[in-house]
Amino acid sequence: MKSEILPNFDSSAMLDQVQQWCAINTGTSNLGGLARQAEQLGAAFSALPGEVHLVDPAPVTAIAADGSEYAKPHGQHLVLKVRPAANRRILLTGHMDTVFPSDHPFQNLRWMEDGVLNGPGVADMKGGIAVMLHALLAFESTTSAGSLGYDVLINSDEETGSLASSALIAELAQGKLAALTYEPAALPDGTLAHARGGTGNYSITFTGKSAHAGRNPQDGRNAIVAAADLILRLKAMEREDITINPARLEGGGPNNVVPDHAVLRFNIRPKSTAAMESFDAALQEVLSVIEREHGVGTHRHGGVTRPPKPVDARAQKLFDLVRQCGAELGQDIRWQPSGGVCDGNNIAACGVPVVDTMGVRGGAIHSADEFLITASLAERAALSARVIQRLSEGAIP
């Protein structure tokens, strides 16, 4: 079947939307900003033939510096369902949050040079949301639109691991033949991220016993020393298929008191599911050794938030389709493995083929140098619309 010719894309309108959205601070903890963003996104996506609604975040807890567990609030997630009864359905995902809180100095847009816009979220990923929206609007103008249904999810917490939306991602992924996620391209030339490792965040609380550092230190149980011992043991657990990064140690007190409290926070990056699972089991054994040798209690919080994302044969077919569609549009699509993670990891864990860097070309994300190559707005929207059109025509069984 020969695909219809898709309409041209209004780059100016897309850029206007990106600038409007990026003027709103949507750091993951800025619930007011996220609510304003969700309202604007809801109005924009209501142009599509489906019902937009907001979904409350799932409960999430975190560990404070004193070791107590507390509820961590998040913003609502936007969901759009179009033709839910269709036999062929796909999932498209993005996120409205950024890594820049409301008190961060990086809040404004500026032109770095002609066609290169600097600002918070321009690439990661408000530019990507514009690409998704306009690709869907273009697809809806074709006669083949009625043969494909889709769900759109724009969550509010991707930058902190999607803990408040992971169950929603899994729910929406069920029964989908493919998924597209609108993270920015892995490189400014448009290269896609291919296979990804996983990630997990842990907080270990140590409870020791205080004592005078001069009179009776032997009666104390030093939580800081126990935590330091765990740090060294964690680094010794690194292998080719997993890295471990002890990131923060909190606790202690006056120099003349044996510290009875500490919290260690660390991140792991497993490259395979086997590495992820073996680490989790090994960690429990190491904590038992720490407790026995140092006479402290431990409590673990957290775990793997995004499993590794290998690319199997079904996922490779989707990558090949994106490359083919790119070639039809004069775009040279390549890919490479990535050490980063995103919601594509969660989707792949549900058994759904996913390409998760369908967003704009740009770079320097998570920094005040973040930039968007504005020509890529229309360029990547055309690519996405062509891929969606081909999926509607049965390009992937």
User: Domain range for residue 300?
Assistant: 199-306
pLDDT for position 385: 98
Q: How many domains does the chain have?
A: 2
Residue 164 covered by a domain: yes
User: pLDDT tier at 4 (50, 70, 90 boundaries)?
Assistant: confident
pLDDT for position 370: 98
Residue 215 covered by a domain: yes
At 203, list the tokens: 């907080």
Tell me the one-letter amino acid at 165: S
Predicted confidence (pLDDT) at residue 110 exceeds the cutoff of 80: yes
Predicted confidence (pLDDT) at residue 380 exceeds the cutoff of 90: yes
Last residue of one domain, picked from the residues 306, 334, 362: 306
* Listed range (20-24, 33-37, 141-145, 195-199) with the worst mean pLDDT: 141-145
53 and 184 belong to one structural domain: yes
Closest by Cα among 304, 311, 312, 247 to 277 = 304
Average pLDDT, rounded, for the chain: 97
Q: Indicate the pairing of strand 77-82 with strand 89-95.
A: unpaired
278 and 150 belong to one structural domain: no
User: pLDDT tier at 26 (50, 70, 90 boundaries)?
Assistant: very high
Q: Is 327 helix (H, G, I), strand (E, B) or coil?
A: helix
Residue 280 covered by a domain: yes
Kindly report, residue by residue over 328-360, the tens digit of the pLDDT: 999 999 999 999 999 999 999 999 999 999 999
371 and 277 belong to one structural domain: no
159 and 23 belong to one structural domain: yes
323 and 339 belong to one structural domain: yes
CB distance 170 to 350 below 8 Å: yes
Q: Indicate the pairing of strand 116-118 with strand 371-373.
A: antiparallel
Residue 397 covered by a domain: no
Last residue of one domain, picked from the residues 278, 306, 334: 306
315 and 364 belong to one structural domain: yes
132 and 213 belong to one structural domain: no
Predicted confidence (pLDDT) at residue 2 exceeds the cutoff of 70: no
210 and 286 belong to one structural domain: yes
Q: Is 229 helix (H, G, I), strand (E, B) or coil?
A: helix
Kindly report, residue by residue over 273-311, the tens digit of the pLDDT: 999 999 999 999 999 999 999 999 999 999 999 999 999
* Listed range (5-14, 119-128, 166-175, 274-283) with the worst mean pLDDT: 5-14
Q: Where are the alpha helices (DSSP H) in the chain?
A: 11-22, 31-45, 127-140, 166-173, 223-236, 273-294, 313-328, 343-349, 375-392
238 phi, psi to nearest 5 deg: -65, 145
170 and 229 belong to one structural domain: no
Q: Where are the alpha helices (DSSP H) in 23-57?
A: 31-45
Predicted confidence (pLDDT) at residue 1 exceeds the cutoff of 60: no
Kindly report, residue by residue over 139-197, the tens digit of the pLDDT: 999 998 999 999 999 999 999 999 999 999 999 999 999 999 999 999 999 999 999 99
Residue 189 covered by a domain: yes
Taking the C-alpha atoms of residue 67 and residue 159, their distance in angstroms, rounded to an integer, is 23
What does the pLDDT average to over 370-397?
A: 97
Q: What is the CATH number of the domain that holds 141?
A: 3.40.630.10
Closest by Cα among 116, 126, 121 to 101 = 121
Cα distances (angstroms) measured from residue 100 to each of 97, 105, 360: 9, 8, 19
Residue 1 covered by a domain: no
What does the pLDDT average to over 245-265?
A: 98
279 and 336 belong to one structural domain: no
42 and 177 belong to one structural domain: yes
Last residue of one domain, picked from the residues 279, 306, 333: 306
* CB proximity list for 245: less than 8 A, separation 6 or greater: 266, 267, 268, 269
Taking the C-alpha atoms of residue 374 and residue 16, their distance in angstroms, rounded to an integer, is 11
Q: Is 13 helix (H, G, I), strand (E, B) or coil?
A: helix
Concatenated DSSP letters of 83-141? -TT-SSEEEEEEE--BS--TT-S----EEEETTEEE-TTIIIIIHHHHHHHHHHHHHHT
Residue % of the chain over a pLDDT of 90? 97
Cα distances (angstroms) measured from residue 205 to each of 128, 189, 264: 39, 44, 7
- The verdict on pTM exceeding 0.85 is yes
Residue % of the chain over a pLDDT of 70? 99
64 and 106 belong to one structural domain: yes
Residue 5 covered by a domain: no
Q: What is the CATH number of the domain that holds 263?
A: 3.30.70.360
What residues does 95 pair with on adjacent strands?
Answer: 155
Kindly report, residue by residue over 226-238, the tens digit of the pLDDT: 999 999 999 999 9
Residue 2 covered by a domain: no
